[in-house]
Chain A
Amino acid sequence: MIRRRVELPGGPDRLWTELTDPESVADWMGTTVEWELTPGAPARFTGDDGSRRVGLVEEVRPGERLRFRWWPEDDTGQVSEVTYDLEPHGDGTLLTVTERPTGSDHPAAPAHDAVAWTAWDGRALGLWASARVGAGACA
């Protein structure tokens, strides 16, 4: 599981707009997004490099949390679930981004045990991989 926590300027409402408005997302994510912010709504992502993904909006709590699932359109890659958690922090907002793999047999399959995943960022895995290839595979 990947987890990143960053403190960003501006309040949660402004950050929410940045995270959800297609024009903003295209700018910082390098991805065109088409979605309706309603749980269960389909989503479509097109990267600047032409890569296409489809997805599913799962949880929408404006200013607090957005959760969606996405996977490559050609169905050859990993299905994963992305969560944005926003918390007010002084004059800014603490944003936590979590991306974790889910079952690939069906995109709507339940994610692997969320609680068990939380304490791990895959660094150990990266270590094993890098020990084998002789270069850092994981930051």
Chain B
Amino acid sequence: MKKNNSHTSRNFEESEFQAQYFLQHADDYIYRLNAQGIITYCNPAVERILKLPREDIIGKNYLEFVHPDFREEIVHHHLSQWEKGLPSTHSEFPVLTKDGSDVWVEQIVQVIQEGNTTTGFQAIGRDITRRKHTEDLLKNKNDFLSSLHETTLALIHRLDTGDILRIITDRSAALAGTGHVFAALIDKPGTPPVIRSASGIFTGHIGKTLPPEETVTDKVLTEEEPFVHTDYTNSRTKLPWDQCEHITVFAEIPFKAGPSLSGIIGAAFLGTEHNFERESIQYLNQLGQIASIALENARLFSNGQREIARRMEIEQELRNSRSNLADIINYLPDPTFVIDNDGTVIAWNNAMEDLTGVSEKVILEKGNHEYSLPFYRDRRPMLIDFALENNTHEKDTYGEIKADRDTLIAEIYIPFLGAGGTYLWEKAKPLYDSYNNIVGAIETVRDLTDRKKAEENLRSITQQVIRNQMALNSISRFDNTDLDDFLGKVTETASTTLHTERVSIWFYNGDRSELICADMYSAGENSHKQGIVYTSNQFRDYFRAVESHRIITAPDALTDSRTSEFAGPVFGPEHISSVMDVTIRMSGKVVGVLRHEHSGSRRDWSLEEQDFATSVSDAIALALASNERKAAEDALQEQKQFTENLIQNSALATIVIDNTHRVMLWNKACEILTGIPASEMVGTDNQWKAFYTAKRPTLPDLMIDDLTSDLGKYYDVFSKSVLTSSGWHAEGWYKNLGGMDRYILFEATPITNNNGEVIAAIENIQDITALKITQEEVMRIRSYLKNIIDSMPSIIVGVDTNVHITHWNLEAEKAAGISEEHARGRLLTELLPELRPQLNTIETAMRMKCAQKVERIHKTRDSGPQWLDIMVYPLIEDNVLGAVIRIDDVTSRVRIEEMMVQTEKMMSVGGLAAGMAHEINNPLGGILLGAQNIIRRISPDIKQNIIAAEQCGVSIESVRSYMESRNIIHMIQGIREMGERASKIVANMLSFSRQSGTKFTHADLGELINRTIDLAANDYDLKKKYDFRHIAITKDFSSDLPAVYCVETEIQQVILNLLKNSTQALGESAVSGKTPHIILRLRKNDENAVIEVEDNGPGMEEEVRKRVFEPFYTTKEVGTGTGLGLSVSYFIITNNHRGSMEVSSVPGTGTCFTIYLPIQRRNE
């Protein structure tokens, strides 16, 4: 019924608008108070009067705007109104305006009631400042008139100029309201006035001549008219006298006794004293005229020419002054008249003429309550008579007369005045002379009719609007689930609200040929009827009218063509006279009629009533619509409920927000997950609070606004949903969510309506903390293992059962030059073809579920031979999943092992040699010594040989000849050579045993090498094989090499041995045509001296190279070498000097021996 309410209120607003229009444009001010006296409404007139904007008025206590002196009175006034239950009261008081100016208002205050409760007040009033002012003035004038009268009488009998002047100044002072006055006389026409009498500041200036050039005097003398200078402070020229500089306002009134000016009355105000009353000027003027006559009389009297005629003239002046009073009264805005003591009308102003239509001329000078005739068509006392008589007892014509001392106020309805009578407000007051005798009375009346009407109109509108609004409110509150019940309540309420005899609701049948009564309420019987049928045949004109009118108002229903068809059977029994029909429309189509039937006299249906009826009709239409929708809604609701239940009870935390970001649904799982109950969330846009500390959009919010491009601003991990076409997925850690840190996965999807507009978004929230932790742990372990595997020096390759690569570590990447990501999934033998022969081993390991090892697989590389150890570990978990292959390069280990074997051999040779040497050397010595002696003893050069031969009977020459012929000498020579060779073998073998006699010294290796080269050049054996001088020797010695700690002879022996080997090798390859070349290098490398001996000889095959340091290994033809040279060298370097020695060789290119000698003694 929300819509209905708004419609109802709209109708109310329309009524309100009409009231508002009236209020806004009223000349009278109108305001409303609540029961506490706070202003709840004010119209523009109030703003004008208070000179305040409405916002400074509304909400204030009305007393704040009442003059403080009058507050108590006003409060008392209203309290008494409340207590006595007076519907309306009248009051007058000054208000406080913004600029502080005195503004008087009079107002009528009404009580606003709803039911029996007073809810506030409504005041209507107007600005009466001017009237108040006039009244005050009148009061003053009254005083003045008395004064004038008396003055005239006084003056007329005065013949002494001094007396006259004194009276003039006294009276002037009284009339002008200031103590600073003077009277100046012009003795001769054309001469300036001279002050003859004065009071206040002018007292000291008697006898002085008024300066004619002074602004005011100049003007008055020139124009012969009174002049008031209100801004005398800034006057061009001023009175030059003492104290006159304080004058702020200065007035001069000229007076004449004949054709020319006879004098001037002056009046001055000092400081901030009040300004002149404009009217005072006239009285001063009047005073001046009387004064001039009196003065003239006095002059004539003093001249002995006093004439009675002048006195008559003075009496005429007095009448003039009365006429002058009438003039003043004429200007009063309110109708006013004055009577004298005899009840004779002496003043009747223009406003009074307008009000009564009776002219002044007709009524002036008439008595005997002539003035009551226009009001009452009858001679009777009026308020003015009570004021005159000071009698308030005979006031039966007046409901209530209020008396404020001698002033009487009353309100009265005058039926004969104006069309339809007139409400009059009357105020009357007696007039006094200076002796306080009542000389007459004055009455002011005001036509209150318009105000009263406005007041009643306002009250009526207000009440109507309030009543209608209350009725509509109650209708909108009716439960419309049961339509029949609802319609019954509506008719009854409408009937009561509009004071209508019968209210009924009618609906068309299917073909719109009938109107069937859904409910009819009769107030008289207080009963409901249903089911009456009006057919279109029967009420043709009416049916037509209904189609074309929104509302049919027929004050004269019996004659109105639209409703006259109902006269008789329908209207007759109930004396229906007026009808108001409002069509009930749905979607612009008339579906029925709401009928109001008034019985008795003719009734005009007011706009408010029409509005009300229209609103009721709309309420009915809404109820119908809602009733029609109800079934559909019920089904929809059921569907919605089912869906909601589904989501509510889903184990998956789910929220739904609408397209204004408000939470529509926050299911139980979500409550548990977030720890926030749905009651705190549903209907709010606080969904962020569950996850974040500051407001920001959540995933569904971004769905609603289609801001998926902003996802990166809010989520570290997000992606398009794989589950829904338009949804998104985001995840992350959330601190202290539902009591713990959780890893949350969001999945949000926009929900669209049939037009493709996003109307909501749904979000599923999953706590995958456990999964995430496991995942992260797995990642951590995986990364940890990978680091371990990568940091291992072995090639580690994982393969599956089909020998496809699953793991591939850093070493494997290095060895194969292929990264892991490229290796993964490929066949092992494709990347490491050298493992092809090992496939069997891998297969065996997986089949046997037992690790397999293959050691020292030889492989040739460009950089030399390589040895590999291969381990295959099967991966077993229930079944064989694959294998891990570990490949270690053991080349250097193999090399070291080789060297150790070498050294071992030599050490054993050394030990053997030491034991053998002595035993061999002795017989060998015998052989060699014998051989030498044999050669010597056949020599013809030795004398003993010749002697011994001769003793034997032969010549030594014969012996030699014989031995040579038999080749004996050669054989002996052979013995000798063989002996020598054996001796050398023993000597070399002895080198393997540590000789204690060898001396370590610091040697200059460069010099040592040079000496060795010389030695080689002279070597007998070398010469035999090859002329050393034909070999190019290159020396490349580094200069920074310090002396090296070594046994010089041994190092020399080693180098010599190497030179011999190279020379021999070069000799063998002499045919190849290359220039034989030996390069000797000497340099420093860290702690070592490095000696290299390189040749460009034939080089060695690997098999040879491997064995060159083995004792007794030789490639030389038998008998050429001992096979110990390199072994001894190796032993000297490695064992004796703790250095190292190696050889590299490329067949066909050359060989290079490299020796590393520690420069300093090395601790063992």
A, B in one complex: no
Chain A residues with a Cβ under 8 A of chain B: none
